């Protein structure tokens, strides 16, 4: 019965099944024992009926009988107290076991509550971070909207200014045309290509009248002084030749390329290289180029230009700012690494290979020296071009490119 009681206290799910089986076996054994003792009792009772128990022989002395009964009573009391102590010890032990089983559950509940509190704190922190990020994102959107509005206002102001300039130009051309018609119909003022009073040099350049065509003898007397002052204010023949050539240059808005703001190093490098080449060949200075480059920008690039137009005071600042806007922060290091790892393929043409290098040379900051460029181009050629480059003994990139192109054509 003691083992059955001990097994009934087991609550571990891993050994509950085996404990239940053992309890069942013990119960079965107890039942057998109970049957056995019952049989014994029944047998003894029958025998007692047949053979009565002899009477207990007690001492004849009454005092001795009393002492014997007292000793038997004390013995039974002592045994009872011992049994009570054993029962108390067993109860204390069971109580300790129950407390030991409850204590881990309490600790687990406390740790679980602490874990829940930590998770709640982390969740609150995450919610706070999300709220801060949303506020920052809203501020950025508001700033972007303000910049876009400023860019649109600036673009509208530029368009209005351009319209005013065009209207003034048309008005001046109309005045010039009216003056020519009046001089042509007047018999006393019929002079070939006569110069009006308050002649504007800008209108003269736009009209295409050569400045050296007029002579002082053909000018009417009342225009003589104005014409003399006009001749004294003219530029040198060299400046006149440059202004004459600039009239036949191709406008910037007709150049056959554009940039839409792709974060591509090679595309931006090719765009800047083409702009520099066209500006040199068409005679456009950096000031005019900075003012007219908006015709070559589309999409994100045009939005960026209208937003930062007031800060772009020179062409060098424009190139630096557009690189920082549409290229990675460490674009210069990336390009240098690509330049030293970029080799001409076995079947790659020299034109395609050099086109990539030219675009990279245009982007890298600070600018690479001529000797470093020559080293990169010469050392990265494929085995077909290497002997030709070594035999040419070129000292500049231009000479080496010319030799390689001749070899490619041949």
> What are the tens digits of pLDDT across the range 364-387?
777 788 888 888 888 889 888 888
Q: How far is residue 250's CA from residue 34's CA, in Å, rounded to a whole number?
A: 123
- pLDDT at residue 233, rounded to an integer: 54
Q: How confident is the model at residue 247 (pLDDT cuts 50, 70, 90)?
A: very low
CB-based burial, 331-352: b 16+ in 10 Å, e otherwise: bbebbbeebeeeebeeeeebee
Q: How many domains does the chain have?
A: 3
Q: How far is residue 202's CA from residue 214's CA, in Å, rounded to a whole number?
A: 16
Q: How far is residue 391's CA from residue 403's CA, in Å, rounded to a whole number?
A: 10
Domain that holds residue 236: 168-246
Residue 272 and residue 385 in one domain: yes
* Percent of the chain whose predicted confidence (pLDDT) is above 90: 1
Q: Any residues with CB less than 8 A from the CB of 343 and at least 6 apart, and which?
A: 380, 382
Residue 307 and residue 393 in one domain: yes
CB atoms within 10 A of CB 268: 24
Tens digits of residue pLDDT in 275-333: 888 888 888 888 888 888 889 999 988 988 988 888 888 888 888 888 888 887 777 78
Residue 274 and residue 402 in one domain: yes
176 or 26, which is more confident:
26
Residue 270 and residue 226 in one domain: no
Q: How far is residue 76's CA from residue 317's CA, in Å, rounded to a whole number?
A: 114
Q: How far is residue 318's CA from residue 315's CA, in Å, rounded to a whole number?
A: 5
Residue 202 and residue 269 in one domain: no
Q: How far is residue 368's CA from residue 133's CA, in Å, rounded to a whole number?
A: 42
Residue 273 and residue 315 in one domain: yes
Residue 240 and residue 326 in one domain: no
pTM of the model: 0.35
CB atoms within 10 A of CB 218: 13
Domain presence at residue 159: no
Rounded to the nearest 5 percent, the helix, strand and coil shares of the chain are 75, 0, 25
Residue 317 and residue 390 in one domain: yes
Check whether 128 has a pLDDT greater than 50.
yes
Instruction: Using the 3D structure, point to which of 218, 246, 274 is the last residue of a domain.
Output: 246
Q: How far is residue 135's CA from residue 149's CA, in Å, rounded to a whole number?
A: 21
Residue 241 and residue 262 in one domain: no
Domain presence at residue 152: no
Residue 295 and residue 378 in one domain: yes
Coil, strand or helix at 259 = strand
- pLDDT at residue 43, rounded to an integer: 58
Coil, strand or helix at 389 = helix
Check whether 222 has a pLDDT greater than 70.
no
Q: How far is residue 228's CA from residue 219's CA, in Å, rounded to a whole number?
A: 10
- pLDDT at residue 232, rounded to an integer: 55
Q: How far is residue 171's CA from residue 194's CA, in Å, rounded to a whole number?
A: 20
Tens digits of residue pLDDT in 29-77: 999 998 898 888 765 555 555 555 545 555 566 777 777 778 778 888 8
259 phi and psi angles, rounded to 5 deg: -135, 125
Residue 308 and residue 203 in one domain: no
Residue 175 and residue 206 in one domain: yes
Q: How far is residue 256's CA from residue 269's CA, in Å, rounded to a whole number?
A: 16
- pLDDT at residue 194, rounded to an integer: 41
Check whether 227 has a pLDDT greater than 50.
yes
């Amino acid at each position: 019965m003691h083992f059955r009681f001990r097994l009934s206290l087991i609550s571990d799910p891993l050994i509950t099944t085996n404990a239940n089986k053992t309890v069942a076996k013990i119960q079965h054994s107890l039942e057998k024992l109970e049957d056995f003792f019952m049989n014994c009792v029944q047998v003894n009772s029958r025998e007692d009926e047949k053979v009565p128990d002899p009477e207990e022989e007690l001492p004849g002395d009454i005092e001795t009988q009393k002492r014997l009964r007292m000793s038997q009573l004390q013995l039974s009391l002592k045994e009872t107290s011992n049994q009570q102590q054993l029962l108390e010890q067993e109860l204390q032990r069971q109580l300790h076991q129950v407390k030991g089983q409850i204590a881990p559950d309490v600790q687990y509940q406390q740790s679980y509550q602490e874990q829940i509190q930590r998770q709640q704190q982390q969740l609150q922190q995450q919610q706070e971070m999300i709220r801060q990020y949303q506020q920052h994102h809203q501020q950025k959107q508001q700033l972007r909207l303000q910049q876009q509005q400023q860019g649109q206002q600036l673009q509208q102001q530029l368009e209005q200014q351009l319209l005013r300039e065009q209207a003034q130009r048309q008005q001046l051309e109309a005045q010039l045309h009216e003056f020519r018609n009046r001089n042509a119909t007047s018999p006393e003022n019929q002079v070939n290509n006569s110069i009006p009073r308050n002649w504007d040099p800008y209108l003269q350049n736009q009209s295409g009248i050569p400045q050296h065509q007029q002579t002082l003898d053909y000018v009417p007397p009342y225009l003589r002084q104005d014409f003399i002052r006009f001749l004294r204010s003219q530029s040198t023949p060299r400046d006149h030749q440059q202004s004459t050539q600039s009239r036949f240059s191709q406008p910037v808005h007709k150049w056959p390329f554009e940039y839409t703001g792709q974060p591509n190093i090679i595309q931006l490098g090719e765009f800047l290289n083409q702009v520099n080449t066209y500006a040199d060949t068409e005679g456009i200075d950096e000031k005019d180029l900075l003012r007219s480059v908006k015709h070559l920008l589309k999409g994100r690039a045009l939005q960026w230009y209208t937003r930062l137009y007031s800060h772009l005071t020179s062409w060098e600042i424009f190139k630096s700012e557009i690189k920082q806007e549409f290229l990675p922060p460490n674009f210069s290091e990336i390009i240098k690494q690509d330049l030293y790892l970029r080799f001409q393929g076995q079947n790659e043409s020299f034109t395609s290979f050099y086109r990539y290098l030219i675009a990279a040379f245009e982007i890298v900051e600070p600018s690479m020296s001529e000797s470093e460029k020559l080293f990169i181009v010469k050392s990265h050629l494929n085995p077909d071009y290497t002997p030709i480059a070594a035999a040419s003994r070129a000292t500049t990139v231009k000479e080496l490119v010319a030799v390689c192109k001749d070899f490619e054509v041949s």
